[in-house]
Structure 1
Amino acid sequence: MLFFLFLYAPIAAVVVFSFNTRKSLAVFDGWSLRWYRAFLDDSDLVHSLGTSLEVAAVAMVGSVLVGTALAFGLVRVRSRLGSAAGIVMLVPLVTPEIVTGASSLMLFKGVGLEPGLTTLILAETTFSISYVTVILRSRVAELNPEVEEAAMDLGATRVQALRLVTLPLLWPAVLSSAILIFTIVFDDFVLAYFTTGVSPQPLSVRIYSAIRFGVQPSINAVGTLLLLGSIVLIVLALFLPRLLGRRGSGLDLLGS
């Protein structure tokens, strides 16, 4: 009980005081949407929110495409090189993010790229590939290659077998990894702080810059909206793959 109290009491306080009528973080004086309107009227925060959504969406698509291909390669290639590559893919997951951020900044400086939206997207996409690969690698390993062989025996090309047989079986895992990457990138601060420029700034960096001069109640409103968005993504990650898996099983039974 003490653990949950210390974990969730500050989050609950942020949610409650985001509806506070008074400009106070200590005294609650009634319910109001004042600070949500203040957030929507703050062009800098709204622009940063749009930047975070854009970066998260691009990083999600890029990392899922590359990570899925890598997962297939690591499972299907039977060689020592494939085993070594599988170990290398785990390195970004255990490397401190501050090391990743500093090294990314030095790399971009070395090739002449100034910190900005491009460097931020490149860094977040590259950082997220390992997560997708690790998630999908176990799922690809569970697939039965004989299913693809049967499809090709029935006249399908290798590409058609991949598109019509293999990818539908992988779709729940792909969807879960995509939602996970979107959440990680959208909330990321350390890597974004090192690789972003003065403008545009993602929402996490903008909030950090704002709270250095004192926490404003509008920041509580932003935090509450982020919390709500994270809960929605978690629910989607839990239930959509199961729903798609049940539909896929029903279609297989109908086809058989």
Structure 2
Amino acid sequence: MSNVRRPRFAIGTTMAFFALLYAPIVVVVLFSFNGQKSLSVFKGVSLRWYEAFLNDQELLQSLGMSLRVSLVAMVGSIVLGVALALGLVRTKGALGTFAGLVMLVPLVTPEIVTGVASMMLFKGFGIPLSTGTVMIAEVTFSISYVTVILRSRVAALNPELEEAAMDLGATRWQALRLVTLPALLPAILASAVLIFALVFDDFVLAYFTTGVTPQPLSVRIYSAIRFGVQPTINAVGTLMLLGSIALIALALAIPRFFGRRGGLSILSGE
């Protein structure tokens, strides 16, 4: 018989924490299938609110804008983040240290501060708020996340691989394209998926930098619930939740897939 005492208080606290955290999400998902227009009484199972979402042109336009912004932010932050990660790792001395500290500032700055600052910047230069301003703000905000993820991967690479490629006749760009970037591919793909999910769900930065119409889906939902929560919002929230979970799971699975495939290649002698 085991004499190990279970930490009942810790277990109870953990269960209470997860209950408070996930209970509202479960309620949203449950009432997205409610057969009647009620947010307190569940009666019957129906897909009517999902059908209502698919027939709502304003919500569909907002969904399309969120997808476009997320895609642009993903591509832009990956391109700039890869370049910045390579530069930070290979820049020695005080300049590299200072640049690394500056790169971390967006991660510790409250997002509402970043949102207000971005809005004031666009207003100061006379740039009207639109889809373009949201894209610029989201790309700028996402670069630091990509850089943090890729920086450790770049630091772990063996620089002799690039040197060997250049000794064999490759230019510096060819060595980067044919040696370094393929080695960074799993981290790049994982970063891309993660950034897409973060930007798609982002509200604060999008709220301060978007125009009147079309608005990102998160801002459109906020505007709608100010006048009362509609069951359609539950359906939209459920779909966003499923999409975010799928993207994050994909981001976690990509490095494992490449690691497993790399191990099989080694075993097969490729």
Residues 175-186 of structure 1 mapped to structure 2, 5 A cutoff: 175-186=189-200
Q: Distance in 1 between matches of 2:201 and 2:189?
A: 19
* Correspondence for 1:45: 59
How many aligned positions are there? 256
- 2:245 maps to 231
Matches within 5 A, 1:152-191: 152-191=166-205
Paired letter, 2:238: T
Shift of 1:245: 2.6
Q: Does 226-235 or 146-155 show the bigger shift?
A: 146-155
1:71-109 per-position Cα deviation (integer Å, ceiling 9, x unaligned): 000001112111100000000001111111111011001
Residue of structure 2 equivalent to 1:216:
230
Instruction: List, as ranges, runs of 4+ consecutive aligned residues in structure 1 with deviation greater than 4 Å.
Output: 252-256
Residue in structure 2 matched with residue 113 of structure 1 by the alignment: 127
Compute the displacement of 1:248 (Å): 3.4
Task: Point out the structure with max Rg over C-alpha.
Answer: 2
Counterpart of 1:95 in structure 2 is: 109
| 2:217 is aligned with 1:206 | no
Residue equivalent to 2:32: 18
- Residue 195 of structure 1 is matched in structure 2 by 209
Q: Which amino acid aligns with 1:203?
A: L
Q: CA deviation at 1:123?
A: 0.5
Q: Give 1:126's aligned residue.
A: 140
Map 1:68-107 → 2, pairs under 5 A: 68-107=82-121
RMSD: 1.2
Taking a change above 3 Å as real, the CA distance of residues 187 and 198 of structure 1, as seen in their structure-2 partners, is: same
TM-score (norm 2): 0.92
Three-state SS of the structure 2 residue aligned to 1:137 is helix
Alignment of 1:231-250 (within 5 A): 231-250=245-264
**Mapped partners of 1:154, 1:110: distance in 2:** 52
Q: How far does the alpha carbon of each residue in 1:35-76 deviate from its partner, in whole angstroms, 9 at most, with x for none?
A: 000111111001000000000000000000001000000001
Question: Distance in 2 between the 1:37 and 1:81 partners?
Answer: 56
Superposed displacement of residue 172, structure 1: 0.9
Q: Which moved more, 1:151-160 or 1:141-150?
A: 151-160
The whole-number CA distance in structure 2 between the counterparts of 1:175 and 1:241 is: 8
Measure how far apart 1:253 and its partner are: 5.5
Question: What whole-Å deviation, never above 9, does each CA across 1:171-222 have from its counterpart, x for those lacking one?
Answer: 1111111111111110111110100010110000000000001100000000
Aligned residue for 1:6? 20
TM-score (norm 1): 0.97
- Offset of 1:254 from its aligned partner? 5.0
User: 1:67 maps to which residue?
Assistant: 81
Q: Residues 131-152 of structure 1, C-alpha deviation per residue, up to 9 Å, x if partnerless? A: 1111111110111101111222
Counterparts of 1:111 and 1:13, CA distance in 2: 44
Output the CA distance in 2 between the equivalents of 1:195 and 1:113: 11
Select which of 126, 144, 159 maps to 1:145: 159
